[in-house]
Structure 1
Amino acid sequence: MFEIVKQWYQNKFSDPHSVTLLLMLITLAMLLYFFGPFVVPVLVALVIAYLLDWPTAHVQAVVHNRVLATTLIMLLFVGVVLALLLGIVPVLWQQLSNLLQESPHMIEKGKYFLLHLPDDYPNLITTQQVQSFVTTFESKVIELGQVVVSASLTSLKDVVAWLIYLVLVPLLVFFMLKDKVTLTDGIARLVPKDRRLIIQVWHEMDHQIMNYIRGKVFEIIIIGSTTFIAFYILDLRYAALLGALVGLSVLIPFIGAALVTIPVAAVALFQFGVDTQFWTVLIVYGVIQALDGNVLVPLLFSEAVDLNPVYIIVAVLFFGGIWGFWGVFFAIPLASLVKALFNAWSTQWQEPEKPLLKES
């Protein structure tokens, strides 16, 4: 057994480039694990910088000035964010407040519906089963309420931190875009000389991460807007709030769509009952999800690495458990990174060295 492990180690890590890649990965993972909460503004700024780098490069090609191009794109980005905050967020907040006020009545109506199921379907479900389910559900709702209240109280101290982030993140994004070449050259000087495999993995992942972030933003906008329009036409209450939830659910592959089905079905059931309109809402919602998974995602992520759904779900659970929201958001790129690492350690790289990052 020892000989097998020894032979495997010699095959994979006899090359100093492989050892350098492994040590760099371990170092980055430890830094993120122990100091992740302190670098959240940097991670947020990095995501936004990836998103804005493409339009900045195109504007730069027209104005021939990186600083001017960065300034124009940042002004446009800040303007769009402010418009969303002033135009959409108040509507979502009002609908959320109304939904929370009506939630006790909705729960009571759902409880009444469940308690009468044994009368309508005596051969399928018993009164004891319904009572057990209702008791468990009520206890879970109470626990969730306590968690929400405690989270609200503890989050008050983070208000100042969020205000600081609102200033720091745009500044970080601006300088990341403006000084892109200088920053990447400085990072390249920190990387060890035996970096052939590091460059191979970087060039395989850089374009994918940029396409993934940009594609996710487009997917959120398209799915959220389409759902809102469909629910508004069907006269479903809280259409804006539910549309936003459905749009944001695409951040969590597979699992997000399943979770957001619960509030959609609950609101439709409370408003229409078990009627034709209720089933129409669910069918339309199902069609939107099907078009997202089978048409929109292949169009937006055509250049992404083909990963089996099992690997994606495992990546969501694993990286989400380690890094929370950002682990879930980057689950697919991180899974692709793991695949790229296996490819780097399993194949020989024949291309000459390139710069760590090219100018767009």
Structure 2
Amino acid sequence: MFGVFDRWYKRKFSDPNAMMLLLLIIISTVVLLVWGGILMPVIVAAIIAYLLDWPVTRLNRRGMNRTLATALTLVVFILVSILLLVGLVPVISKQSVNLAQELPLIWDSGQRWLTSLPEKYPDLIQVDYIKNTMDSVNEHLVDLGQQVISVSVSSIGNLAALLIYMILVPLMVFFMLKDKQIFLQSISNILPKERRLITQVGEEMNLQIANYIRGKVIEIIIVGGVSSAAFAFMDLRYSLLLGVLVGFSVLIPYIGAAVVTIPVAIVALFQFGLSSEFGYLMLVYAIIQALDGNLLVPVLFSEAVSLHPLYIIIAVLVFGGMWGFWGVFFAIPLATLVKAVITAWSTPVPEQVDEETPLA
């Protein structure tokens, strides 16, 4: 047994490059676990800078000074973000408030429907079971409301920190983009010389994540826009709010679509009842989901992340359990990182060329 483990260890970790890659992963994980909260503004700034590096690089290659290209790109990004916040957030917030106000009515309607089931199906459903279920749900709803209120009150204290981040993050993004080569050279000087596998993983991650982010942004815009337009055309209430939820649900494959179906079905059922309008709307929603999964995703991600659905679900569960919302949000890139590391470790060690032997 120990002989098998020893041979496996020598095959995978006899290369110094593999040991340096393992050491870098351990150090990075410890830093994120210990100082992740403190470094969160830096991490957010690095992610934004990574996303904005593509237009800055293109403008720089066309002859524009990198400082000017960085300033122009950052200003456009901030203006677009402000326009989206001013144009979409108020409407979404208003629809969210209205929906929250109608939730008691929706729940009362659901309770009346549930209490009518024993009369319609006395042999299948018992009255006591329905009453116990509703009492349990009501207790959980009260607890959930108290948790939401407590979170809202505690979040007021973070308002000052949020205002500081709104100033610090754009400044860090600007300097990260403007002085990109300086920071890359500094990182290169810190890394060990035995970094063949580190470079291989970095290059693969750069290609995969760039394709993933580009494809996800396009998918969110298309799915969210089409869903909002379809809901509005079919006169569904809160069409923009539900359409935005459907759009962002694509960030979590399979699980997101299943979760966001619940509010869409509840709102449609409360508005239309068990009618033909409800059936048509759910049919349109199912067509949108089918086109997204079978047409849009293969087109957008043909060159991007190629992970089995089982691995994606496991990644969502594992990283979501470790880091909550952000773990779910970055589950696929993190799973891609794991795949790149495994691929790098599985790569045969290249033969070293003797420097004293002349090349043919």
Shorter-chain TM-score bucket reads over 0.9
Query: 1:131: Cα distance to partner?
Result: 2.4
Partner of 1:355: none
State the 1:211 CA deviation: 1.8
- Is the CA contact (8 Å cut-off) linking 2:15 and 2:349 kept in structure 1? no
Pairing 1:313-332 to 2, within 5 Å after superposition: 313-332=313-332
Scaled by the length of structure 1, the TM-score of the pair is 0.93
Q: For residue 88 of structure 1, what is the aligned residue in structure 2?
A: 88
Contact 2:212 2:305 survives alignment (8 Å): no
Pair 228,49 (structure 1): closer, same or farther in 2 beyond 3 Å: same
Q: Is the 8 A contact 1:42 1:169 kept in 2?
A: yes
The structure, 1 or 2, with the larger RCO (C-alpha pairs under 8 Å, 6+ apart) is 1
Q: Which residue pairs with 2:153 in the alignment?
A: 153
Q: Does 1:280 align with 2:315?
A: no
Judge which range, 124-133 or 338-347, deviates more.
Answer: 124-133
Shift in Å, 1:314: 0.6
Match of 1:344 in 2: 344
Label 1:187 to 1:75 Cα distance change in 2 as closer, same or farther (>3 A).
Answer: same
Gaps of 5+ in 1: 353-360
Aligned to 1:60: 60
Letter in 1 for 2:101: Q
Structure 1 residue 349 displacement after superposition: 5.5
Larger-gyration structure (1/2): 2
Aligned residues of 1:63 and 1:69 also touching (Cα < 8 A): no
**Does the C-alpha gap of structure 1 residues 124 and 49 become closer, same or farther in structure 2, counting only changes over 3 Å?**
farther
Q: How many residues align?
A: 352
> 1:215 maps to what in 2?
215
Structure 1 residue 351: deviation in Å? 11
**Residue 280 of structure 2 corresponds to residue 293 of structure 1:** no
Q: 1:230 and 2:230 equivalent?
A: yes
Contiguous gaps of at least 5 residues in structure 2: 353-360
User: Could you tell me the percent identity over the aligned residues?
Assistant: 54
**Aligned residue identity for 2:332:** I
Shift of 1:65: 1.7
Q: Which residue of 2 aligns with 1:40?
A: 40
**Distance of 2:300 and 2:49 partners within structure 1:** 19
- Partner Cα separation in structure 2 for residue 91 and residue 168 of structure 1: 28
2:128 aligned with 1:105: no
Q: Is the 8 A contact 1:211 1:301 kept in 2?
A: yes
- Provide the rounded CA distance (Å) in 1 between the counterparts of 2:84 and 2:270: 29
CA distance in 1, matches of 2:300, 2:48: 18
The one-letter code matched in structure 1 to 2:7 is Q
2:188 aligned partner: 188
Alignment correspondent of 2:358: none
Shift of 1:19: 0.8
Hey, what's the Cα distance between the residues in 2 that align with 1:290 and 1:123? 38
CA-CA distance at 1:350 after TM superposition:
4.8
SS of equivalent residue, structure 2 residue 105: helix
CA-CA distance at 1:191 after TM superposition:
0.7
Matched, 1:75 2:54: no
Match of 2:171 in 1: 171
> 1:204·1:340 contact (CA, 8 Å) conserved in 2?
yes
Mapped partners of 1:101, 1:58: distance in 2: 48
Tell me the amino acid that sits aligned with residue 261 of structure 1.
T
With the length of structure 2 as denominator, give the TM-score of the two structures.
Answer: 0.93
- Residue of structure 1 equivalent to 2:162: 162
Deviations 1:207-226 (A, max 9, x none): 11122222222222221111
Report deviation, 1:3.
2.2
Task: Return closer, same or farther for 1:58/1:38 CA change in 2, 3 Å cut-off.
Answer: same
Shift of 1:233: 0.3
Which residue pairs with 1:356 in the alignment?
none
Distance in structure 2 (CA, Å) of the matches to 1:32 and 1:270: 45
Q: Does 1:200 align with 2:200?
A: yes
User: Deviation at 1:24?
Assistant: 0.6
After superposition, what is the alpha-carbon deviation per residue over 1:231-284, rounded to whole angstroms, capped at 9, x for unaligned? 000100011111111112122221111111111111111111111111122111
Give the distance between the partners of 2:305 and 2:221, measured in 1 at CA: 23
